[in-house]
Structure 1
Amino acid sequence: MAKQVLFNQGAGEGVHDRWDNKLVASLERELGKTYAVRYPHMPCEDNPRYAAWKATLVSEFAALEDGSLLVGHSVGGTILTHVLAEQPPKVRLAGLFIIAAPFIGEGGWPSDDIDDGKDLTKRLPPGIPVHLYHGAADAEVPTAHVHLYAKAIPHAVIRTLEGKNHQLNNDLSDVAHDIRSLG
């Protein structure tokens, strides 16, 4: 049976069908048939609201099996991390992989919709491996955000990828490699 991967898209008009679908295609290609990537369309992608995305993610969490993996891109990665910290699924997750996510809180972006991320390590499911990726050439979210996450989640593996943009140049081979390394 294929291992489940839940991919949460970023925010913006048409992101699901015109941008992040390329990330999902890369991840599927790199992981192969032993993984099944689920890619739900998030509500109001051009103006995301935490409560609406949380409701969708909690519903998606209910369908996960033990050993599932979570991947989130940009604002979708931010929301996924916070939802996981607030209301984790009832199954054991194999890992959390966050790509180019803005950090909410001191030094990062403000939000009246998402809580400060400073104590994420205390709120995430115990023992979950966390991998954070950021392209050094990201013009959307400053690279400093991945270092803010590193402070908030000290056990996270951090990868700053040279020459990669906000979409990691539509190449998730590094993410797939790390997913496969978990077994």
Structure 2
Amino acid sequence: MKKTVLFIHSAGPQDPEHGSSNLSAYLENELRDKYQFVIPKMPSPENPKYVRWKDQLEKELNMLNGEVILIGHSLGGSVLLKYLSEESYNLTFSGLFIISSPYWGLDKDWQSKEFTLQNNFEQNLPAIPHLFLYHSRDEDIVPFKHHKIYAEKLPQATSRELEGRQHLFHNGLPILVNDLKNV
């Protein structure tokens, strides 16, 4: 039986060649033999609101059973961390993979009360055996300092500091594929 991967995309346009579309297609292509992918279109990605994304995430999670692997790209990762640290659910998560996610409230350019995590959010996360953080050191969309904050708050996570400037990973993310294969 294939494991289920729930992929939550970034903000912004999600049509082909935009947003997380290339990354999610790459992952599905590389791993379709081993995993069943659920890649929902989140509401109003060009004007996201947390409550609407939370409701959609809840709807998606309620349709799943068994062990689930979660992948969040950019805003999708922020939403997963907020949801997992604030809500209740009846699933077991065997992995959580956060890619290039903003840490809301870090500085004046990254303010959004609705997406900001609660103080000590990390203490409310469920025990997830495989937690990974990925971020390009020189990317210009979400600065690398966001990754450093997540890595400090989540010392149990495997931190993948990537060379280059990638945020959207249009050509894929092979290290993520390898990490998923080992879960």
Same fold (TM over 0.5): yes
Counterpart in 2 of 1:69? 69
Contact 1:134 1:168 in 2 (8 A): no
2:22–2:169 contact (8 Å) kept in structure 1: no
Give me the CA root mean square deviation. 1.8
CA contact (8 A) 2:11 2:45 kept: yes
Flag the 1:167–1:149 CA change in 2: closer, same or farther, 3 A.
Answer: same
Match of 1:180 in 2: 181
Residues 146, 16 of structure 1: alpha-carbon distance in 2 compared, 3 angstrom cutoff: farther
Q: Is the contact between residue 135 and residue 168 of structure 1 (CA under 8 Å) also seen in structure 2?
A: no
Output the amino acid matched with 2:131: V
Dislocated runs of 4+, deviation >3 Å: 105-108, 115-118
The SS at the match of 2:70 is strand
- Once the two structures are superposed, the pairs formed by residues 17-32 of structure 1 within 5 Å of their partners are 17=16, 18-32=18-32
Offset at residue 37 of structure 1 (A): 1.0
SS, match of residue 168 in structure 1: coil
| Partner SS state of residue 23, structure 1 | helix
Per mean C-alpha deviation after superposition, the further-off stretch among 64-73 and 17-26 is 17-26
Q: What residue in structure 1 maps to residue 14 of structure 2?
A: 15
Which residues of structure 1 form unaligned runs of 5+?
none
Report if the CA contact (8 A) 2:131-2:157 is conserved.
Answer: yes
Q: 1:123-153 deviations in whole A, cap 9, x for unaligned?
A: 1112442100001231100011111001221
Aligned residues: 181
Q: TM-score, normalised by structure 1?
A: 0.90
Alpha carbons of 1:176 and 1:56: their partners in 2 closer, same or farther (altered >3 Å)? same
TM-score where L is the length of structure 2: 0.90
